[in-house]
Each structure stands twice: as C-alpha cells, then as structure tokens.
Structure 1
Amino acid sequence: MKKTALAILMVTCLFTSCKDQKKEVVNENTKTEIKISDTLKWSERMALSIMKRFPKASDVDNHETLNWNYKHGLLALSFEKLYLETGNEKYFEYEKGYADDLIDSTGTILNYDIEKYNIDNINAGKTLFFLYEKTKDEKYLTAIKTLRKQLENHPRTKSGGLWHKKIYPYQMWLDGLYMGQPFYARYIAEFEDGKNFDDVAHQFEVCYKQTLDKKTGLLLHAWDESKQMQWADKTTGKSPNFWSRSLGWYVMALVDVLDYFPRDHSKRGMLIQQLNDLSTALMKVQDASGIWYQVPNFPEREGNYLESSGTAMFAYAFAKGVKKGYLPSDFNDVANKAFDGLVKELVKVDQDGKVHLTQTCKGAGLGGNPYRDASYEYYVSEAKKVNNLHGTGPFILAALELSR
C-alpha cells in the first residue's frame, strides 16, 4: 500500500510539474511574442502593451465573468480605429475577439438583459457595425438590432430624454450621451434613412439645457427631472459638481455623433455650437501641465488630482473637432498640450517597452448602494487605477487623432 501511495504521489508531482512548466512556457511565449518599440507611435505602443498584458480583450480589467460592457466597447473601438489607420490585422482580430467572446452564432449577447434598460449597454454595439461590414456575419447584425430595440423601448423623462438606467428613473447623466447617441445616430444613418436624427439631437438639447452651469459654461454631471434624489437640487434637479470624465464623455459624444448627421440637418449647427461653447469653457480650466483635474474647477482644493481619462477624452475630441472643421485650429494646440501633459506626467514605460497610464479614476456615479452623494469629497475619494479602460481607450483614440 505504501509503495502504491508513493507511486501515485510521484506521478502526481511529475504531472503537476509538467503542467506548471507548460504554463510557464506559454506565458513566456506570450511575453516574447509582442515587442514594443519606442519608435512606434503612442497609439500602437499603448495597444501592444494592452495586448501583451491581456492576449484577449475580454480579459482586460480582470472581470470574473465575461462581461458585455461599455469599457470593453470603448477599448474595442480604439482598436478598430487603429486597424483602420495601420491596416494591421492583429488589431482587427483583437476587436473581433471581444465581440465573438460575447456574441454567439445566433447573435445573442452574453449576460445582456434588455429589460434593465441600461444605456451603458449600448456603447459596445458601436463596434458591431464595422464587424458586420467587414465579415458579413449576420450575428453582428442581429446583435445591432437587439440594441436598437432597447433604445426603441428605453424609458424617458417627460421631456423626452433617455434615462441613464431603469434603476435611475428620470435621470440623465452626461456619460449616457456617449453611451447611446453615436450608436443611435449610426443606426439611423445606415438602416433608417435618417428618420430619427431629430431624436438624437433632442437628447443633447435636453441634457445640455438641464446640466449647464451658466457661470462657468461647464456641464454638471447629471440631472434628475423628478428632483427626488438626495444629490439633486430641489429647484433645478441638477447635481452639485463637475466631473472631468463626464465632460469628456459629452464632448466625445458630440464629435462622434456629427460623423453621421447630414450636413443639411437643421440641428447640426446646434451640436457644433455646443461643442464650441463647452470646449471653450473646458480650455479655461485646463491646468498648466496640460491635464485637467478630477474636479476641474477646484484645482487647488485638498484631495484633487490630475486625472488621465478626462484629459485623454478632451484631447481626442478637440483634435477630431479641428480635423473635421467644427472647432477653431487653436484647439489642436490645446489637444497637443493635453497629450504632452499625459506623456510627461502620467505615462510610465517599463524597460521592456510596456506603456502604463496612471491616475485614472476607476469610476464615479450618483445614488446607488452604497450611496454616492455627488459631493466634491466623493469625486476625489474614488479609487485611482493604472491602465484602467476608461483611460487607455481614449488615450489610443487621442494619439490617433493627433498622429502622435
């Protein structure tokens, strides 16, 4: 019996040892497959760094379960734009890999529940248009139509604005304009003969009007039409503070929606005017470093910090706005100053070339459990992360727009 037990133990140890060695070899091969040269542009350096850390896009940020979500959608979109710029198929395959991990052969989206009416869930759908165009795989079109159906039935404020989520009734957050409207506008352009562009424009009209702070020209993070939330002003329904990333979502939404708006549409000028007015207000609170603070209007207040994701979003929106003719050329200088600041202050590079983006706010919202009160103290207390998807995706997009 003792000899038998010893033999089993030896075989088990040998098997485990081989298994571990194999695992090490696989990891070593993964590490050496991707070389990141400092002669490449920052867009590719960041993308390759992400791929080296996470060979599959769905694994980025270490989610415990496969997750159809806006952050991975943002990353996948940045890889799509990088592919279109470089023609390198590995960037396309990385984008496609995320979609294929989450969408089965029938077009069903894994872990997606339309009944939650969460506007965030629309964002990853932006990548499906290109995937369908390139592959002609009907599963992508089925998923696109599922997301369009969500928007068709999505609950709205009395003034016609799409709720941020079903669990946040009568609320519009700046974030939601980026999550839903570029997808909505592209669907309208490609499948609805432009019939609902007025509705897209209306989302911006309502949100801008209800969140605008006339003193600064900036937009507050959110608005509660019902005025029932503790964070909401009892007269206006506005939240009390500005948040740089929410403003970043909004300006990105504007430049991306304009890609699809007909030049002769009556509301196109309104969208461009919003972009100009908000960009001008943002330029006034840009730090000398080129970076924006987490709470942009209180640069010297205790706890505030230079935040990377909002800054990358502004750099992208301003650069694209100039390139498309929406913004004056001066904003290209503002965008380059922002990108310079990111590289100098918040980007770190390993000896093997991997690029890291630091000081990205992990996330910020309003209400919920535990309760988020939208106070200054709340925004500066949220965790800061390295290589968070909120920052790395916009960093790639900004680098591409600036050809950096």
Structure 2
Amino acid sequence: MKNLRTFLSAFVIVIGLWATSCKEAKDKSKETNTATTAELLVPEDLKWSERMLISEIERFPDATKLDFVDKPRWSYTNGLVLSAAIKVYEQTNKQEYYDYIYAYADDLIDSTGAIKTYSLEDQNLDMIKSGDVLLYLYDKTGEERFLKAMQTLSSQMESQPRTSDGGFWHKKRYPYQMWLDGLYMAEPFHARYTNLFENDPAEAKKIYDDILLQFDLIQKHSRDEKTGLLYHGWDESREQKWADKKTGTSPHFWSRAMGWYGMAMVDVLDFLPEDHPGRDRIITYLNQFAEAVTNYQDESGLWYQVLDQGNREGNYLEASGSAMFTYAFVKGAQKGYLPEKYLEVAEKAYAGILDNLISIEDNGVVNLNQVCGVAGLGGDPYRDGSYEYYVNEIIRPNDPKGTGPFILASLVLNK
C-alpha cells in the first residue's frame, strides 16, 4: 500500500510537470507568433502598391535621399516615387504617407521658395518632375513658398534651349539633343501647371501647342518606321559619337526610355483640354507605341533591357521598363485611348513582374529586382549608346525608377 501511495504521488508530480511544461511551451509559441507578427514591417494583406510604398519608406526614411544618395537632393526620382505615394495616400488616407511626401518639399523648399540643390542655369528637364509634388502640396496647404518654387520651374520651360525646330534640349550640357526621357520629366507638369495657373486663353493655347510640338518632334526624329519603336535620343547636330550621321538617332531602343515616353503620353492627356486638336495626335502616337512595344513582349510577360534584341547574349528582362509599359497600357485602356486588348497585355506583364522580379524578405519588405540603375548618352565618362553599354550598366534591386512605376502599375490595376 505504501508503494502504491509513493507511485501515485510520483505520477501526480510527473503529470503536473508535464502540464506545466506544455503550458510554458504553448505560451512561448504564442509569444513567438506575436513576435513574428510584430516583426512584419510590411503586412501581407495590403495591396501591392501600399506594400511597396511602405518598403520604400523603410529603405529610404528620408525622401530627399531616394535613389541611394547620401545628401538631400532635388531630382526626378523623388518626384516619381512621391507622385505614386500621393495616389496611395489618396486611397488609404494614412497620415504617415502624407508626412513622407510633405517632408521632401519641406526640407528642400526654403521660406523664400528657393529650391535647394536645384540650378536654373543647368536647364535640366529632369529637374521639372518633382514639380508634380509641389502642385499637389500647394493645393493642400496653400503655402506660398511652394507656388514660388513652381514658378521657378515654369520659368525654366520658358528659357529651356531648343533645337532649330523647337524641341527642348534635354539639358544645357547636352546641346541639340532630345531624349525620350524629357517628355515625361517635363510635359505633364508643364500641362498641369498651365491648366491651373494660366488665365489667358491665348497664352494657354500657345503653351499647349508647344507641348504637342515636343511629341510631334520626338515622333518625327526618333521613331523607327520598321519596328515602330523610338530610339533613346536624337542629336540634331550629329556631333555626338552615338549619333547616326544620317539620322542623328542613338543606336538602340532602350526599354526604360520607351517606358518614360509611354507614361508621358497617358499622363499629359490628363491635363490637355478636351477640345485641343492635338489630343488626337497623341492618342494616335500612343496606339502606335502600344502596338510596337507589344510585338516585343517576352513570353514571361516582361520586356528586355534592349527591347528588340531579346535573344542576344547579355540582355535581360528589365523591371522598370516592364512596369512602365504595364502602367501606360492599363491607364490608356481605362481612359479609352487604347483598345481593351492592352489590358490583357498588361495583366500578363504584371503577373510576370510578380512571378519573376518580386521577392519578399522575412520582415515583409518587398523587393523589385533586375532594375537598370541608370543609362544615358554622352557625358563623362562617355556613354556611347551601344548594346554593350546598355546591358552592362549597373543592375540593382529597388531602384526608384522601377519601384515608382511598379506602385503606379499596381494602383491602376488595383492589385
């Protein structure tokens, strides 16, 4: 009997210890799950547009340093990502997104309206893009300094050097050159600013006509009749080593340059008056563009860095151009500028981006991979526009020239 009591006592102790151990394990499991949830900086149940924006804020907490720079900078990449952030804020109404947008302008526009790090003397079309952020913030805040900064940017459009037939030089230091990039950097701002602040109908029409002229000229000088694609740059002087001595065009079709151009067309149409005769021309150009670009879509849904040479060694499926085409096609079709078939092209492209170019870290941060870091023409060191040049420029994840368009494409698709 004594042995039985001893056995039962030991059994009760063992059971008690086992129950305590199970409870502790269960509690620890709860703690681990709670910790894992807390560590997710980017919740997985949000739309892709918001997930990417949160990821960008995590990577670049200071919006003045977007694009991997050490010091605050007024540049087009900030304007690109923050224009997308504005649309996410308008969908979600989350204050932290507005604060991120506002801080950029607050840091770089002083009390007099001067733009830090910006030089009017440079006559650089890239610098106009961030004016889109000021258009939004001035409407929200009424701060006079934002208006004065916009007036400075608008004055650049008046003094920008031109080719003999009226095309804006891309930058003062790139004389007689038009680049596809410049249409996106300057013309949506140019049109919207005119829409809001030019009260003289005759003067407004003159500016709209000038905006249309830029598209007319880039079509005239840069479009290849055989493929329907547009070359990255055109040099009226034919002096650049990259320029064809007969046509003045650069040698290749760069996907992101074509992407800039597509986005320029769908965005500028938002601000051109409905009764302006040039609208139909831009819509025609957009349809030609969409047909040409679709002809070079890879079976993955994506597009190559050098658009028409997918089978050539060294070429790769590039994220920024693919995202830009997706955005342009969806917006174009939704607005009625393009046939609905381009929605299917864009859906395939977007699925290709998600399947091939998106990766997610343990904390939920979203990465966009295979983005061309930068590409240009001329300069020092000299960029010759060759095939080898385009495919050997730096490739990096999360370049804002890719993440911005990815957010925009996600927004129009409502994914």
TM-score (structure 1 length as normaliser): 0.91
1:42 partnered with 2:53: no
1:285 pairs with 2:291: no
* The structure with more radius of gyration: 2
Deviation at 1:89, TM superposition (A): 2.1
**Where do residues 160-309 of structure 1 align in structure 2 (5 Å cutoff)?**
160-193=166-199, 194-195=204-205, 196-309=207-320
Give the Cα–Cα distance (whole angstroms) in 2 for the partners of residues 32 and 131 of structure 1: 33
Residues paired across the two proteins, number: 374
Q: What does residue 340 of structure 2 align with?
A: 329
Residues of 2 paired with 1:62 and 1:215: CA distance?
Answer: 39
Separation in 1, partners of 2:212, 2:95: 35
Which letter maps to 1:146?
T
Take 1:335 and 1:226, find their aligned partners in 2: how far apart are those partners? Answer: 38
- Whole-Å Cα distance in 1 between the matches of residues 313 and 222 of structure 2? 25
1:123 equivalent in structure 2: 129
Cα-to-partner distance string for 1:118-148 (whole Å, 9 max, x where unaligned):
1101011111111000011111101000000
8 Å CA contact 1:34–1:48 kept in 2: the answer is: no
Residue 105 of structure 2 corresponds to 99
Partner Cα distance (1:221, 1:91) in 2: 34
4+ runs deviating over 6 angstroms: 31-34
Displacement of 1:87: 1.9
- Write the distance in 2 (CA, Å) between the matches of 1:61 and 1:261: 31
Whether the 8 Å contact between 1:217 and 1:281 is mirrored in structure 2 is yes
For residue 356 of structure 1, give the secondary structure of its aligned residue in structure 2: strand
Q: Do residues 374 (structure 1) and 385 (structure 2) align?
A: yes
SS in 1 for 2:367: strand
State the 1:84 CA deviation. 1.5
Q: CA deviation at 1:54?
A: 2.4
Q: Is this contact kept in 1: 2:67–2:77, CA < 8 A?
A: no
Rounded to whole Å, the distance in 2 between the matches of 1:178 and 1:151 is 14
Q: Distance in 2 between matches of 1:117 and 1:175?
A: 15
The Cα of 1:197 is off from its aligned counterpart by 0.4
Q: What is the one-letter code of the residue matched to 2:140?
A: K
Q: Give the aligned residue type for 2:331.
A: K
Q: Is the 8 A contact 1:223 1:238 kept in 2?
A: yes
Unaligned residue ranges in structure 1 (runs of 5+): 1-30
Whether 1:146 aligns to 2:152 is: yes
Q: Which amino acid in structure 2 is aligned with residue 314 of structure 1?
A: F
Q: Write out per-residue CA displacement over residues 216-243 of structure 1, whole angstroms, 9 at most, x where no aligned residue.
A: 0000111001111111111111111000
State the superposition RMSD in angstroms. 1.3
**5+ long unaligned stretches in structure 2:** 1-36
Letter in 2 for 1:309: S
Deviation at 1:33, TM superposition (A): 8.7
Whole-Å separation in 2 of the counterparts to 1:334 and 1:87: 31
Q: Which amino acid aligns with 1:261?
A: L
Quote the Cα distance in structure 1 between the aligned partners of 2:306 and 2:38. 40
**SS at structure 1 position matched to 2:130:** helix
Using the TM superposition, give the Cα deviation of residue 93 of structure 1 relative to its aligned residue in structure 2, in angstroms.
Answer: 1.4
Mapped partners of 2:237, 2:56: distance in 1? 42
Which of the numbers 395, 403, 408 marks the counterpart of 1:397? Answer: 408
How big is the shift at 1:192?
1.4
- Alpha-carbon distance change, 34 to 180 in structure 1, aligned in 2, over 3 angstroms: farther
Q: CA deviation at 1:32?
A: 6.3
TM-aligned CA deviation for residue 38 of structure 1: 1.3
Is the 1:210–1:238 Cα contact (8 Å) retained in structure 2? yes
Identify which range, 34-43 or 274-283, moves more after superposition: 34-43
Instruction: Write the distance in 2 (CA, Å) between the matches of 1:129 and 1:60.
Output: 20
Distance 1:53 1:253, change over 3 A: same
Quick one: distance in 1 between partners of 2:125 and 2:386? Answer: 24
CA distance in 2 between counterparts of 1:272 and 1:96 reads 34
2:17 matched residue in structure 1 = none
- In structure 1, what is the equivalent of residue 322 of structure 2? 311
Residues 1:60 and 2:66 aligned together: yes
Q: Cα distance, 1:100 vs. partner?
A: 1.2
The amino acid across from 1:41 in the alignment is: K
> 1:34–1:52: 8 Å Cα contact kept in structure 2?
no
